[in-house]
Amino acid sequence: MSVVFEEVRLSLPHIEVAAHLYGHENGQPVIALHGWLDNAATFSRLAPLLDGLRIVALDLPGHGHSEHRPRGAAYNLWDYAHDVLQTAEQFGWQRFSLLGHSMGAIVAVLLAGAMPERVERLALIDGVIPFTGEAEGAPQKLGEALRALLKVEKKRKPVYATFEQAVAARMKGVGAVSWEAAELLAQRGLMPVPGGYTWRTDPRLMLPSPLRLSLAHAQAFIQAVACPTSLVLAEQGLLVDADLRERVHALPFELHHLAGGHHLHLDDQAGAAAVAAVFNPFFAAAAS
């Protein structure tokens, strides 16, 4: 697959991040946010199919070629929202749209709800609501996170003897993907080490969350979203739980059900084309 993009590094006030740039510089400004443990390559099939956009596909901190957060810092969803906002500032974008997959979609919703004056449109792929937790479980969750944090320095990332072994492992990871999709993610996500290859991702990304938003918190962010929003739901994706589906269908968003798994936009070209067929008219409406 031949993809035309520009590789850039952005020196934000608090961290340096990497990104892929797609489209003409005068296109509609869009920041694209990948899922947990993925990277900017997740948009390598979809981004070239989206018309009239200037897409900044980020490697979020701790992922891909972006820097890891310093010791003592965390990878909370709201921290990513700050990264996105600083990226927009770097490009001088007072208004911009967000294209998000999975965790990236959740971050997009949080930012759009918190700062509706900055976000023009939301295009979401198989993600919208974070895992929630209620008050009674908060002490246990924080305890689990703190115990894991004490042990993280002793953990070693897996080393794969060959690139192909790493690709095979990614196929079976969270949100199982096709070989082609895993290969694209691995090409950006792996680095050579003695004995083979390991992932560039920060091991702290695997730590349990110290605190989760309550369902009431999550719903408040959803209700605060003021911009047009289009949500693609994968028929074999991660949002298949009956209660969760019912909650998603009650959202005030434009919903589209498409065949495919959680990474339908990356698994094959047909899935990417199906998602593009949804999002192209959605973004075109902003330009009309």
User: Catalytic amino acids?
Assistant: 102
> Which positions ≥6 away from 140 have C-beta within 8 Å?
none
Bridge-based pairing of strands 28-33 and 53-58 is parallel
The phi and psi torsions of 10 (rounded to 5 degrees) equal -115, 125
Burial class (CB within 10 angstroms; exposed 0-12, middle 13-18, buried 19+) of 148: middle
- HSE-CB of 262 using CA atoms within 13 angstroms: 22
H/E run at residue 269: helix 269-287
Supply the DSSP symbol for 206.
G
Rounded CA gap, 181 and 44, in Å?
Answer: 10
> Which positions ≥6 away from 73 have C-beta within 8 Å?
79
Token digits for 169?
Answer: 């492992």
Residue among 83, 80, 91, 82 at smallest CA distance from 27: 91
Residue among 5, 36, 54 at smallest CA distance from 130: 36
**C-alpha angle 200-201-202 in degrees, rounded to nearest 5:** 120
